[in-house]
């Protein structure tokens, strides 16, 4: 067990001394159990089944189990043990998005406040219903915005929480296209044509769905104005969105996010804060970060959580992208 590394990590996260001691004791118990009972190499070489065996042997209650798992996750983060982090998240029932969100929170606000924000809505699992997720997200966002300034909230939520890789083959293709032509407008046109083809192939080229996408080049592609590219999401259920008779129903069918969508059915007071939609901004800027090989700023312009009819984001391109060869 690498106790000093764990202590330094938690101290750097401004964790309370009492919590540091508690986490060290938890990890030490697991390490001792594995060394003595399982004849293993200890915590640093543990597997999922080893952690499960410890929890079963100690017969921990739900709250105590959570403390043990959070302590173990902190140890995994401190020692950069990705397998351990993944195993703990599996036992916590966490989604990859929630795992990434927790890590980002920890980076920006520290261990103590991260726990407070994550636990504001009670325990949550990836398998939870969308209704329960929306309630949890509402509580989480209320706590986040009450304790963290607006600028930091935005940084946290736009930090590529879906962990989309800017080096994926499809984004590398866009980068090569841009490098060949020096024209970001050509890349945006390519993306628009791609989505027209997808929708036309699915619904028909004479369909209302195709005409809706054809008429708006910002949908999943982008329209450049100076060094800003405006991107809008495609409706999640485009057919139902276009057929909806009222704005509230339209907004519900537009939204992609399983963590907030159900709150669109509720009153303004019960709705998730639109600040949460910065997360989608983080999703949409990644392809452009791959093209320009740098972190870009993105602003939330419109959101269905603000009673807008669409969700639109402004992605700020670097200065060198302003003048394009035509």
pLDDT (tens digit per residue) in 149-200: 999 999 999 987 776 666 667 788 899 999 988 889 999 999 999 999 999 9
User: Would you state the pLDDT for residue 326?
Assistant: 43
Element (H, E) at 300: strand 297-302
pLDDT at 126: 73
Indicate whether 185 and 143 sit together in one domain. Answer: no
pTM of the model: 0.72
Whether 178 and 312 map to the same domain: the answer is: yes
Decide if 9 contacts 85 (C-beta within 8 A).
no
Domain boundary among the residues 157, 189, 215 is at 157
In a domain, 305, yes or no: yes
Q: Is 305 left (phi over 0), alpha (psi -120 to 50) or beta?
A: alpha
Token pair 């935005």 in the structure block, residue: 154
User: Residue 312 belongs to what H/E stretch?
Assistant: strand 312-316
The verdict on 212 and 313 lying in the same domain is yes
Cβ 141 vs Cβ 275: under 8 Å: yes
Domain coverage including residue 147: 3-157
Task: Using the 3D structure, point to which of 131, 157, 183 is the last residue of a domain.
Answer: 157
- Of 127, 157, 187, the position where a domain reaches its end is 157
User: Does residue 162 form part of some domain?
Assistant: no
138 and 206, same structural domain? Answer: no
Q: How many domains does one find in the chain?
A: 2
The pLDDT of residue 39: 59
Q: In 3D, which of 24, 25, 28, 30 has the Cα closest to residue 6?
A: 24
Tell me, yes or no, whether 217 and 300 share the same domain.
yes
State which residues of the chain have pLDDT below 50: 323, 325-326
In this structure, the answer to whether residues 99 and 186 fall within a common structural domain is: no
């Amino acid at each position: 067990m690498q106790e000093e590394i764990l202590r330094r990590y938690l101290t750097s996260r401004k964790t309370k001394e009492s919590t540091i001691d508690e986490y060290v004791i938890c990890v030490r118990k697991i390490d001792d159990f594995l060394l003595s009972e399982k004849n293993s190499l200890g915590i640093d070489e543990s597997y999922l089944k080893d952690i499960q065996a410890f929890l079963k042997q100690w017969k921990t209650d739900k709250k105590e189990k959570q403390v043990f798992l959070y302590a173990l996750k902190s140890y995994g983060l401190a020692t950069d043990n990705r397998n351990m982090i993944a195993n703990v998240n599996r036992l916590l029932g966490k989604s990859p998005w929630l795992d990434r969100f927790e890590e980002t929170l920890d980076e920006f606000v520290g261990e103590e406040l991260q726990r407070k924000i994550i636990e504001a809505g009670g325990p949550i699992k990836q398998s939870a219903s969308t209704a329960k997720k929306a309630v949890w997200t509402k509580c989480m966002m209320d706590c986040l915005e009450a304790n963290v300034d607006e600028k930091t909230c935005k940084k946290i939520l736009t930090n590529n929480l879906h962990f989309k890789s800017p080096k994926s083959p499809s984004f590398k293709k866009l980068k090569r296209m841009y490098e060949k032509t020096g024209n970001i407008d050509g890349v945006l046109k390519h993306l628009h044509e791609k989505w027209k083809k997808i929708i036309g192939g699915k619904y028909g080229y004479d369909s209302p769905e195709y005409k809706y996408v054809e008429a708006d080049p910002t949908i999943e592609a982008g329209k450049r104005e100076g060094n800003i590219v405006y991107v809008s999401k495609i409706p999640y259920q485009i057919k139902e969105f276009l057929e909806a008779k009222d704005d509230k129903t339209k907004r519900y069918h537009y939204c992609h996010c399983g963590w907030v969508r159900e709150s669109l059915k509720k009153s303004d007071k019960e709705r998730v804060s639109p600040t949460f939609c910065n997360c989608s901004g983080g999703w949409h800027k990644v392809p452009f970060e791959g093209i320009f090989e740098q972190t870009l700023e993105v602003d939330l312009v419109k959101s269905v959580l603000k009673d807008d009819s669409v969700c639109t984001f402004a992605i700020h391109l670097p200065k060198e992208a302003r003048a394009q060869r035509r």
